[in-house]
Amino acid sequence: MDGVLSQEEISALLSEDSGAEAVNGDDSETLTPDEIDAIGEISNISMGTAATTLFSLVNRKVDISTPVVTYATWDDIVEAYERPCVFIRIAYTVGLDGSNLLVLREQDVKIITDLMMGGDGTNTDGELGELHLSAICEAMNQMMGSSATSLSSMLNKMIDISPPTADLIDLKDTLDGGEIDQFLGGKFIRISFRMEIGDLIDSTIMQLYPIPFAKEMCTGVAETMEADTSATAANAMAQSEPQPTPQPMPQQAAPQPMPQPQMQPMMGQPMMGMPMDMSQMYAQQPVNVQPAQFQAFAGDFNPITQQENIGLIMDVPLDVTVELGRTSKSIQDILEFAPGTIIELNKIAGEPIDVLVNGKYVARGEVVVIEESFGVRITEIINN
């Protein structure tokens, strides 16, 4: 032994210190400022896409603030977050190797579940049950699925997740730091968002990333940016390189004309190169011209055939509309409509009403009563 500790031994000693929460530690336990910025940008894009998906599920305006990236320990979560809460685990199966936790308040989960089921978000009485957990898992599956699609575009590779799992956690009583350390480690990345859904939810949600998983995402972003930069630089270099000046081609001697074979004239045809009178050519080829023959249309008219053809479309349904009258109103007038409002039409009392077939004006008539139903008696056919 030379008395000098290796990097692995130094990291092991630092990890044993429970109070080691400083940002400036060894590389395996901390992120660089650039990596922290990259994680914030990834989360901003991912949660922005997820918010759009959540809007379509709850039919309410969803606002998610800019993420705040910090280091945290399990004790920080227990102290800062309301209990009990819902832990949702999202595992990445393609493109990334790791998982993260999404932490939501119990009340927020109840509100989102009620909205997804068509409620107004106020039916939150009772305990959180399997129905709520299943609904929030489905919501997160769609939200984080769309987030994975955005992440795929950012990292330039396929990203996919497994169906999320949700658990109601009492923080202090249900889990301890040892169980969390197996998943997140002693120190992990906490990304905090402020989520607002209409006037029903205004709270903080958190994403918890193991530091190795966060570093893997940062590495993917860096590689993508490096590849894009290299491609841009290559294109710029290709455009800036001077183009070679084309050299004049050496003059070649004119090719000697090949002797043309003598063509023997065919019978009845002139030799090539000799002028010929067009009238003589046509005179040599007699053309048979006959007047065009057309059948008379009147003689082929068959009423029976015509009736059979009409029979093919007799079953086609047509929309018949009876129009009592029309009028024009402004948007302000329409917004003032209420039960009991009287609308004056452009028809005079007793005037015939219009009958339209597929929107085409075909007849006029008068209103009659047949037992308990209204009807229209046709009084005039309109010949258009």
CA distance 98 to 143: 18
The verdict on pTM exceeding 0.75 is no
What string of pLDDT tens digits covers the 384 residues of the chain? Answer: 444 545 455 444 444 433 333 334 445 567 888 888 888 888 888 888 888 888 888 888 888 888 899 888 888 887 777 778 888 888 888 888 888 888 888 899 999 988 988 888 888 888 888 888 888 998 888 888 888 888 888 778 888 888 888 888 876 555 554 555 566 667 888 899 899 998 899 988 888 888 888 888 888 777 776 666 666 666 666 666 555 555 555 555 555 555 554 544 444 444 444 445 554 554 555 666 667 766 665 555 555 555 556 777 788 888 899 888 888 888 888 888 888 888 888 888 878 889 999 888 899 998 888 877 888 899 999 886
- Tabulate helix, strand, coil % of the chain (nearest 5): 35, 20, 40
Spell out the residues 6+ positions from residue 59 whose beta carbon is closer than 8 angstroms to its own.
115
Q: In the CATH hierarchy, which top-level class contains the domain 313-337+344-381?
A: mainly beta
Residue 142 and residue 164: Cα distance in Å, rounded? 10
**Which two three-digit tokens encode residue 297?**
């249309």
At residue 248, the pLDDT reads 55
In this structure, the number of other CB atoms found within 10 A of the CB of residue 345 comes to: 10
Question: Tell me, what's the pLDDT at 22?
Answer: 35
What was the pLDDT predicted at 111? 92
Instruction: Provide the pLDDT for residue 50.
Output: 86
Measured between its terminal Cα atoms, the distance across the chain in Å is: 110
DSSP of 183-218: HT-SSEEEEEEEEEETTTEEEEEEEEEEHHHHHHHH
Domain residue ranges in the chain: 23-227, 313-337+344-381
Note the pLDDT of residue 196. Answer: 92
Residue 383 φ then ψ, to 5°: -95, 105
3-state secondary structure of 93: strand
Q: How much is the pLDDT for 363?
A: 93
Cα–Cα distance, 110 to 108 (Å, whole number) = 5
Topology of domain 23-227, per CATH?
Chemotaxis protein chec (3.40.1550)
Task: Give the start-end residues of each E strand in 324-372.
Answer: 353-357, 360-370
HSE-CB for 113 with a 13 A CA cutoff: 23
